Amino acid sequence: MSGVAGSLDAGLPVTFRLDPAASGIALLQAWMDAPESGGFPQLLRTRPVEAREGYVRVVCDINTRHANFVGLVHGGVTAALVDTAGGAAVMTILEPGQTLLTTDITLRLLNAAPIACARLEAVGVISWRDGRKVITEVVVSTASGLVIAQGSVGVSIRSPG
């Protein structure tokens, strides 16, 4: 395949590696410190910028590749940002060796995000936890404070073995 799909795939292998001996918060800090992550987060142009137990703030630098056909940020970008922030909030509580898996996402698009907004920010907060199951609440907004979406992410914590 040539054209756009081929150019989007070039140079984006996952470069960030999970260290099974590190806690989730340590992995999140390493992700924040890494110059690039490769893979989908880099393609989306998203990265965590603030994290503490049960909380994360993720930014997505918007460009024209994020546009839908009417010149707004595509809702799929917003959905991916909700998933990323929700999962990253859960990452803050992982013990060494644990991983996570999104089990469901609920998304309510509240306002259109103009492609000229330059950056979207998602704040994810753990709202419920019971053993291996965690629910996070996520709010996506522009730098000016316009709320674009609210969502929740169900996450399963997976132990080694």
CB atoms within 10 A of CB 92: 21
Of the candidates 52, 57, 25, 74, the one whose C-alpha atom is nearest the C-alpha of residue 140 is 57
Q: Output the pLDDT for position 2.
A: 39
Question: Domain range for residue 40?
Answer: 4-158
pTM of the model: 0.90
Q: Output the pLDDT for position 116.
A: 94
Structural contact between residues 85 and 58, judged by C-beta atoms closer than 8 angstroms: yes
Model confidence band, residue 34 (pLDDT cutoffs 50, 70, 90): confident
Q: Output the pLDDT for position 1.
A: 34
Structural contact between residues 84 and 67, judged by C-beta atoms closer than 8 angstroms: no
Distance of CA 149 to the CA centre of its chain: 14
Domain count within the chain: 1
The one-letter amino acid at 42: Q
Percent of the chain with pLDDT over 70: 92
Give the CATH number of the domain where residue 47 resides. 3.10.129.10
pLDDT over 70 (residue 160)? yes
